[in-house]
Chains A and B, each alone.
Chain A
């Protein structure tokens, strides 16, 4: 939109849309991927090594050894930053900020009189993502060791952990892990002045934007966990105005590995440009919801196709390769051909205008139209706008409607939807409008064939639907034999 729009042009201003219809309670657009808490966690090389042995502290110490902060050689802030740089550790919550930079900034701003604060963000507001939940349920002590190591390195005495209210088993698993550390008096939790590290747990309301940095800080401050406009990053002014090291739970798990074993294990995996591993959640979207999500730890450079269900493996998996939504609801669609070529790597995915985000791969199953799925995701995202910023509140609703016009063949992709996708970018207190816009733009490009088909009144996936409905609750993913199932 150009600058200098004249006042007279405001006459054609669109009516203000309401986020909820009056008199109707509850969400109109629940998550289109209602996965629940049953997750398949595959054992992995580093973080997810030995998950089948259970989440206990004794098992963890046997596998990784003790973390003793006052021992010779325990990394201080600079040493930890150097380790993080060696393995090029970037934040795993989606934004991908270099961890070493954040750590140094916090350490510089802190000091004895103003000790920094550490925050582990496991809010995982994205319903399709399950990696942070998987970590806290299978290897909670690796995450907590990472947070403890970071706390000692920057001189913090308190660590806040934020978990999602709707994932009860995560809340329970974290409580159990913290109780175990307390009861055993684990040396990892003893600070330099011999006082115990203070752990505080916060439960974030089920909301897509609950994991946004400013929303997490609001929750810790005792307010509603909604994003707010912040002039300074948490590293400068976070919890109670203190320099705050706020990172995603997976990031802290990697920090835990660095503190316990140094950089070598991570350097043995991945590519020269992106060493180490990352967690990926694969979600098969079925006609009646979603098959159990699979969480895997994979080296960078792994082919995306190898993480997708084998075509036709079960009736729920489409028999030919399908487009894949990479990066979750704020992610980007890859065509089936792009997905066959792409690897788990931020530089490689950037070729296709995609990014790994929080590591979610959404795969439409048999009879699931990727356009229809995008439509439902947009409806959900529009409703998840936290209702604060006008351009987001009004823009995302209009954007979802305009996209629906395209999928129903009534509008062309270059019409109002493109203008709306551009107008919302950068115009909110959090990244929600930008992520939603990215999803729309990628769908208009990667799903061009599907849009063409819809414009002539046809929808190949829907037409390929089998007559019998799929068996309820059948697994949609291959190789479940070697995986650890976390069913109720």
Chain B
């Protein structure tokens, strides 16, 4: 699904990273590779677009699993 399609889906949950806490363990990317990218240094890349509805459960699981509590699910 392209970026524009995701943007078009209003009202979903989004992901937010606290980069001052994140230590690039990359666990979140492993749990949810379709939604959370990684940059060349291993830090997660989220684009602020709503998480696809069929991935919201995994997104919450990834946020819970983050060892640094750096990943947060923001409710719309």
Contacts and interface: CB of A to CB of B under 8 A. Distances in A.
Interface of A: 1-7, 9-10, 12-14, 16, 227-229, 388-392, 394-395, 423, 426-429
A477 to B, nearest CB: 40
Contacts of A2: 37
Interface string B38-66: 11111101111000000000000000000
Nearest to A393: B41
B35 A13 contact: no
B41 A395 contact: yes
Name which of A9, A228, A229 has the most chain B CB atoms within 10 A of its CB.
Answer: A229
A432 B22 CA distance: 17
A5 B38 contact: yes
B21 A10 contact: no
A423 B39 contact: yes
Given A5-B45, A429-B19, A391 B39 contact: yes
Contact size range, B: 20 to 34
Contacts of B33: 4-7
A126 to B, nearest CB: 21
B69 to A, nearest CB: 11
Nearest to A15: B41
Contacts of A395: 39, 41
B23 interface: yes
Nearest to A387: B20
Interface of B: 17-24, 26, 29-30, 33-43, 45-48
A426 B23 CA distance: 17
Nearest to B35: A3
B30 A7 contact: yes
A34 B20 CA distance: 29
B37 A390 contact: no
Given A229-B20, A389-B19, A389-B20, A10 B36 contact: no
B20 A14 contact: no
A13 B29 contact: no
A120 to B, nearest CB: 25
B39 A1 contact: yes
A13 B19 contact: no
A13 B20 contact: no
A428 B21 CA distance: 10
Nearest to B49: A3
Contact of A4 (B17, B37, B39): B37
